[in-house]
């Protein structure tokens, strides 16, 4: 992955290793518009919404990343309003879903529990 280093002022190649299970296979992963994605940085980790209904947490200190799947039965599709944000307590994922003409807001805090997110 190409990463900008504020220390050197240049783009550098860095390798990140997945920790835990994969989000899916290439055949189940969608690609498309990247402008609708959101990200949040908190305590040395970058949380990024990925198009195929998951968030990844990239640890900048140890070169690892982890897939964070939504709660069972929920999809974090780019076609709904998904937002990542942070506060002093952590990173939050908010989903605005108006799929069936009813507007719903769901908010989850993304926190690590015994090595899992």
For the chain (length 117 residues), average pLDDT per consecutive 10? Answer: 86 87 56 63 88 80 86 63 85 78 79 57
| Residue 70 within a domain | yes
Query: Within 10 Å of residue 66's Cβ, how many Cβ atoms?
Result: 18
| Residue 7 within a domain | no
Q: What is the pTM of this model?
A: 0.72
* Domain that residue 73 falls in: 17-110
The rounded radius of gyration (Å) of the Cα atoms in the chain is: 15
**pLDDT at 54 (0 to 100):** 78
| Residue 49 within a domain | yes
Residues 48 and 110: their CA atoms lie apart, in Å, by 12
Number of independent structural domains in the chain? 1
Q: What is the DSSP letter of 102?
A: -
| Residue 80 within a domain | yes
């Amino acid at each position: 992955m190409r990463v900008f280093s504020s220390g050197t002022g240049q783009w550098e190649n860095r390798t990140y290793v997945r920790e835990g299970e994969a989000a899916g296979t290439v055949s189940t992963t969608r690609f498309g518009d990247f402008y609708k994605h959101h990200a949040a940085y908190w305590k040395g980790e970058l949380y990024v919404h990925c198009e195929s209904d998951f968030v990844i947490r990239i640890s900048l200190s140890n070169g690892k990343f982890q897939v964070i799947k939504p709660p069972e039965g929920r999809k974090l599709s780019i076609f709904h309003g998904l937002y990542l944000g942070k506060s002093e307590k952590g990173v939050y994922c908010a989903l605005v879903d108006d799929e069936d003409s009813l507007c719903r807001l769901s908010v989850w805090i993304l926190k690590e529990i015994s090595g899992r997110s």
